[in-house]
Amino acid sequence: MELILVNKKELQEMLGEIRPSNKQPESIKEEVKYLSPVEAREYMKSKGIHIAKSTLYKLTSNKKIPFTHFGKKKILFRADELDAWVESRLKRSSDANPVTIRVAEEARKKKL
């Protein structure tokens, strides 16, 4: 039998390598980002969705877009909630009913 001597620091390093870390990697940690109305418009614009300032405020007053109040008057938006809201409003052509598509095409032709 062989006796191995290690000091406290070496033992801690060895245990640190063996023990799973309780810390989450930086990429897993999600930071909730709150956006002002101006930042929310810029954020949505960066995603390809242009929305007027008045439209954004109208959507908040009708509670048709997710937002949070900070204090009595400050309105904030969460980026992840805006993403989900945009996704829920998008209609894919594969989801559309063929009859609906045909009616829409006929309506467009009549306008010309």
Query: Could you name the CATH architecture of 31-92?
Result: Orthogonal Bundle (1.10)
Closest to 52 in 3D by CA, of 67, 41, 43: 41
State residue 64's pLDDT score: 94
Check residue 59 and give its pLDDT: 94
Residue 75: the pLDDT is: 94
Instruction: Give the span between the Cα atoms of 105 and 8, in whole angstroms.
Output: 77
Please, are residues 46 and 53 in contact by the beta-carbon 8 Å criterion?
no
pLDDT for residue 92: 66
Mean pLDDT by 10 residues, the chain (112 residues): 83 77 56 88 90 94 93 92 88 68 75 54
Domain ranges of the chain: 31-92
Q: What is the pLDDT of residue 63?
A: 93
